[in-house]
Structure 1
Amino acid sequence: MLPLRLFLLSLLIAASTVLHVLPLLLVALLKALLPSERLRRACNGVLTGMAESWIGVNGWMWDRFTQTRIDLGEDAPLARNGHYLVLANHQSWVDILVLQKVFNRRIPFMRFFLKRQLIWVPLLGLAWWALDFPFMGRYTPKQIAKRPELAGRDIESTRRACEKFRALPVAIMNFVEGTRFTPAKHAAQGAPYRRLLKPKSGGVAFVLDAMGDGLHAILDVSIAYPGGSPTLLDLLSDRIPEVRVRVRQRAIPDEILRGDYQHDRAFRARFQQWMNALWSEKDAELATLLGDDAPRA
């Protein structure tokens, strides 16, 4: 029965994706052709509504076809028209679906920073482009050493993306670790955290600098899987008994809101200290959510 279940669910997901993405691309094309900025802004609402509808269908399938329970805790009310920076730990591609299910239509539509190669994903790559998702090069230290000019490209991409969002309700999502947690990566890093990789502060600093007062709060999200880190196949196969999510709304400290992360060593040190303290709190919260005897995420 499992192969039949997976086939039917995959068919349903594909049908929903096509039915949402094709009209979305048509509206994106219309937006590009319109001469009026006011009309182009009106198209943004239509595009966002289509994306939220697609996420809503995914959420309905989660409820209808799985027994996976989300244990959600929040320390403050959320605003549909807010301006948030969303920070979360990252273990699995399921994390994205969890975040979308928890936040869809409760905060502004979330934009993720994506690897540039993902623009070639059939249908979805164009949809992400149409929805103004920022695409990043994520160059390696070796590439930057050979071509130093690459170091500034992602910074400029971040600034351009954030300029579009300043006047709109927005939720900018950042997986601060930069990659999914695995025991091998954790061991290679020698990370001081039990269940997290080291945070990469640069991306967060550039978003805060580019957005300035355009963001009013940070949503600090901790995601824990008591049964161990799952795959998308586990979700489709209904093998994830529970997901535990905690959302803490944090004010943005004035001392990290403005500064030159790239060139000011003192500011960079302060920012990294703040980020490391945030990550230490998250590590402790994950330990609480999972318990001392829980399997490592």
Structure 2
Amino acid sequence: MLSFLPAPLIGILTSLLLFFNILFCASFLFSFAIIKLVLPFKSVRIVVDRILMFFAEGWVTGNSGWMKLTQHMDWDVKGVGDLNYRGWYLVNSNHQSWVDIFVLQHVFGGKIPLLKFFLKHELIWVPIMGLAWWALDFPFMRRHSEAYLKKYPEQRGKDLETTRKACEKFALIPTSVMNFLEGTRFTTGKHARQQSPYRHLLKPKAGGIALALNAMGDRFQAFLNVTIVYPEGAPSFWDFLCGRMKRVIVDVQTLPIPQQFVGGDYQEDAQFRAAIQQWVHELWLEKDAQIDRLLTASTTLALANK
């Protein structure tokens, strides 16, 4: 609606709308988060968590509102027609930009429960949002290098324990557990340093998804395998706010939960660890090929429309 405005002006306006949406929703969210902190009982948690989810989903709805108001974007979305808002889902996606989070929230808003992301521990210090993520039980992960773990072996496995505790909380009310298997955003530099065998993806890490399946695999009703493609290249967050992102493709595959991985011990069972890593590798091979197909189809369509 306001996409006719100059891009920098749209960026400023959108930033203000995002900021005030955060302040408005967070003010209500923090009030109930204090209750959960003071009264840490399961019966209280179940009630308060539903209220917190209501305000968090209100934030997502508000974001979708300013996106529609300020941006003229072509959304090519497939595979979200038969989802259940009151179900439990394990969700996976490739990761290229902070924009991915807003895309995923917009696509799944009102269709499945609020997405709960695995976050880097440093993000807990983000003003307002860090406290909001904490209140909503988003798991904060510390990723240590192998050299650090050799020096401090007692830190090994702490991230997996954090994931386990978070998933135990998620089992209380319908939740969508979101996991970026790559663990970080794709860049050509990271891709080169990893010597990734995939053309469009970084190497996946199976530990988080394995523990989610261990902790609440019997709760999940489906595995949502999401592929996000930006035909014009992954946008920066500022480009997104300025309305420069013109098209995004989101392909969602609803797959059964692999029952052979439910309840497995990723840390101690080497055979199980190798099996789930192979499953993730095959999933990534297909996703890599899917990105190729989507990019080719998008380029063909663009040429045909010229």
**Which TM bucket (shorter chain)?**
over 0.9
Which residue among 168, 180, 183 is the counterpart of 2:188? 183
CA–CA distance in structure 2, aligned partners of residues 127 and 35 of structure 1: 17
Q: Which moved more, 1:132-141 or 1:67-76?
A: 67-76
2:50 to 45, 54, 57: 45
How many Å apart are 1:102 and its aligned residue? 0.4
The share of aligned pairs that are identical, in percent, is 47
Aligned-partner SS, 1:247: strand
Select 1:265's aligned residue among 264, 270, 284.
270
Unpaired stretches in structure 2, ≥5 consecutive residues = 1-5, 300-306
Cα distance change, pair 190–120 in 1 and its aligned pair in 2 (3 A): same
In structure 1, C-alpha distance between the alignment counterparts of 2:217 and 2:20, rounded to whole Å: 40
Check if 1:125 corresponds to 2:130.
yes
Q: What CA distance in whole angstroms lies between the structure 1 residues aligned with 2:87 and 2:274?
A: 29
Which residue pairs with 1:87 in the alignment?
Answer: 92
1:36 and 1:83 map into 2 onto residues whose CA distance is 22
Matched, 1:30 2:12: no
Is 2:209 the partner of 1:207?
Answer: no
* Number of equivalenced pairs: 294
Post-superposition CA distance 1:181-212 (Å, at most 9, x none): 11111122221211111111111111111113
1:5-154 maps to which residues of 2 (within 5 A)?
Answer: 5-34=10-39, 37-74=42-79, 77-154=82-159
Aligned AA (2:156) = A
TM-score (norm 1): 0.94
Please state how far the C-alpha of 1:37 moved relative to its aligned partner: 3.9
Distance, in Å, in 2 between the alignment partners of 1:36 and 1:270 is 38
The code of the aligned residue for 2:159 comes to: D
SS of the residue corresponding to residue 291 of structure 1 reads helix
**Which whole-Å CA distance do the structure 2 matches of 1:79 and 1:9 have between them?**
31
CA 18–75 in structure 1, closer or farther in 2 if over 3 Å, else same: closer
Native 8 Å contact 1:76 1:249 kept in 2: no
Q: Deviations over 1:54-104 (max 9, x none)?
A: 110100111110011210010761010111110000001100000000011
Contact conserved, 1:132 with 1:161, CA < 8 A, in 2?
Answer: yes
Whether 1:278 and 2:280 are equivalent positions in the alignment is no
Structure 1 position 9, deviation (Å): 2.1
* Deviation larger for 266-275 or 220-229: 266-275
Q: How does 1:150-165 map to 2 (within 5 A)?
A: 150-165=155-170
Q: Is the Cα–Cα contact under 8 Å of residues 224 and 244 in structure 1 kept in the other structure? A: yes
Residue 218 of structure 2 aligns to a residue whose secondary structure is helix
The one-letter code matched in structure 1 to 2:289 is A
**Aligned-CA RMSD value:** 1.6
**Contact 2:224–2:255 (CA under 8 A) maintained in structure 1:** yes
How far 1:246 sits from its partner (Å)? 0.4
How do 1:189-228 and structure 2 match up within 5 A? 189-228=194-233
Deviation string 1:114-166 (CA, Å, 9 cap, x unpaired) is 11111111010000011111111111212111101111211111111111112
The CA distance in 2 between the partners of 1:82 and 1:292, in whole Å, is: 33
User: How far apart are the structure 1 equivalents of 2:139 and 2:273?
Assistant: 23
Alpha carbons of 1:242 and 1:181: their partners in 2 closer, same or farther (altered >3 Å)? same
How far did 1:4 drift?
Answer: 3.2
Secondary structure in 2 aligned to 1:125?
Answer: helix
Match of 2:172 among 160, 167, 175: 167
4+ runs of 1 displaced by more than 4 Å? Answer: none
Report the Cα offset of residue 168 of structure 1.
1.6
Alpha-carbon distance in structure 1 between the residues aligned to 2:174 and 2:51: 14
Q: What is the alpha-carbon distance in structure 2 between the residues aligned to residue 40 and residue 273 of structure 1?
A: 38
Q: Is the 8 A contact 2:10 2:70 kept in 1?
A: no
